[in-house]
Amino acid sequence: MKILVIGNGGREHALIWKIAQSKLVDKIFSVTGNGGINKIAESVNLTNNFEILDFAKNNNIDLTIVGPENPLCEGLVDLFEENKLKIFGPNKKSAQLEGSKEFTKEFLIRNNIPTAKYFSYTDYNSALKGLDDFKYPLVIKADGLCKGKGVFICKDKDEAIISLNKIFLDKIFGEEGNKIVIEEFLQGFEASLICLVSKNNIVPLEPAKDYKKIGEGDIGENTGGVGCISPNPLLDENTEKELNTIAKKIQKSLEKEDLAYNGILFIGFMITEEGAKVLEFNVRFGDPETEVILPRLKSDLVDVILKTMNNEISEDDLQWREEYCLTTVLCSGGYPDKYETNKEIVGLDKLDKDIIVFHNGTKLEKEVLLTNGGRVLSVTTLADSLEEARNIVYENIARIDFDGMYYRKDIGKI
């Protein structure tokens, strides 16, 4: 088979690394490659959904797999389906589960799926008035896609007004902030379940714990994720069962509302004293969750995806390695705010042979590997214990260097 993978971060490098191990695959193309991906896939420079469609048609691509949310929310799957091409992911209508917070909240409430209480607003003055209906802290969310930056947790009314000003008056998210959701703040710990979802079933992958804050001890700004471990030691058996039950209810509700699709549903939960509640959906694989989940998957990923697309997937199709997997993301200094790129990366040739380095933001120029993003490399290993995985990853990171390199030293310390 010929496979096309959209997206060029660490998640896509992990997908391509795993796809390359499939006995079903002859050739992989990547839009648009990076310093690591280019060693196992052919990079193609396509800049919009129409160019992607033309490429898939002209090159007899058998299956397209989409990493990031934007092409899905812009209707890439609709375009492929109209042209009878195989693609893994939701159409534009179902992608609203990630693309619109209000759409998701309405879906959850309508289907009695536990979630925080909320109201939505389309103008500044009613949002300002609405603040009085909530206790503090409260959470303000821009409705649309804001690269993970659209959520404000406000401890008092002053902070809430500042956030409303930023969204409605300064328009920092442009049109994506034309609507907002205000919701109650949920206390607890977070857990994510990334699931294969088909028109008749939902099958969770192994759970992972993402480290979202830039600073050690979980302080500072939110990021896309700067470290990850799988399995998630915080999840006990009962909680996992509860999450699986909610996931099943979500799948049934998608089916009932004609929103079911063949792809990934990433469910973000807050585990509260009253039980698990849904915080958000993503309709794609997580990053860096993919970098720790796929190394643990023994089964052939392409076979698993094809079964999901044929509505034949079941838990028995997934075999897992028992080991822990840990990844620490090496970042450009300054991330998630301003950072510099084009710094030479050295030391990758000195790593232990069972270390897996997924490239998030790199490029190869005249044989020199350079930084090319805020998140640069995900240094990953499997080991029998979390402690051992931590030690191996940090020993190896000490051999890597680039100007301004920053990473959290507490990934895997729970």
Which residues are near ligand AMP by CB under 6 A? 116, 139, 141, 151, 153, 183, 185-186, 190, 268, 270, 279-280
Question: Which residue, 153 or 172, has its beta carbon nearer to ligand AMP?
Answer: 153
Q: State the binding partner of 330 from ligand GLY, ligand AMP, none, CB within 5 to 8 A by kind.
A: none
Place of tokens 């939902």: 202
Place of tokens 């192994």: 206
Q: How far is the CB of 213 from ligand GLY (least distance, A)?
A: 12
Question: Which residue, 235 or 279, has its beta carbon nearer to ligand AMP?
Answer: 279
DSSP category for residue 78: H
Q: Which two tokens stand for residue 189?
A: 């710990």
Q: State the binding partner of 185 from ligand GLY, ligand AMP, none, CB within 5 to 8 A by kind.
A: ligand AMP
Find the binder of ligand GLY among 98, 102, 210, 291 (CB under 6 A): 210
Question: Which residue, 40 or 131, has its beta carbon nearer to ligand AMP?
Answer: 131
Range 225-264, binding ligand GLY (CB under 6 A):
225
Q: State the binding partner of 287 from ligand AMP, ligand GLY, none, CB within 5 to 8 A by kind.
A: ligand GLY
Q: How far is the CB of 19 from ligand GLY (least distance, A)?
A: 19
| CB contact at 8 A, 405 and 320 | no
Please state, in angstroms and rounded to a whole number, the distance separating the CA atoms of residues 7 and 293.
18
Q: Is 316 exposed, middle or buried (0-12, 13-18, 19+ CB in 10 A)?
A: exposed
Q: Is 104 exposed, middle or buried (0-12, 13-18, 19+ CB in 10 A)?
A: buried
Q: State the binding partner of 116 from ligand AMP, ligand GLY, none, CB within 5 to 8 A by kind.
A: ligand AMP
Q: Is 290 exposed, middle or buried (0-12, 13-18, 19+ CB in 10 A)?
A: buried
Place of tokens 């839009």: 31
Q: State the binding partner of 282 from ligand AMP, ligand GLY, none, CB within 5 to 8 A by kind.
A: ligand GLY
Please state, in angstroms and rounded to a whole number, the distance separating the CA atoms of residues 54 and 42.
17
Question: Which residue, 148 or 347, has its beta carbon nearer to ligand GLY?
Answer: 148
- Among 224, 242, 228, which Cα is nearest to 379's? 228
Residue 282, interface with ligand GLY (CB under 6 A)? yes
Residue 71, interface with ligand GLY (CB under 6 A)? no
b/e burial code for range 175-199 (CB count within 10 A of at least 16 → b): ebbebbbbbbebeeeebbbbbbbbe
Residue 9, interface with ligand GLY (CB under 6 A)? no
Residues of this chain that bind ligand GLY (CB under 6 A): 210, 224-225, 282, 286-287, 289
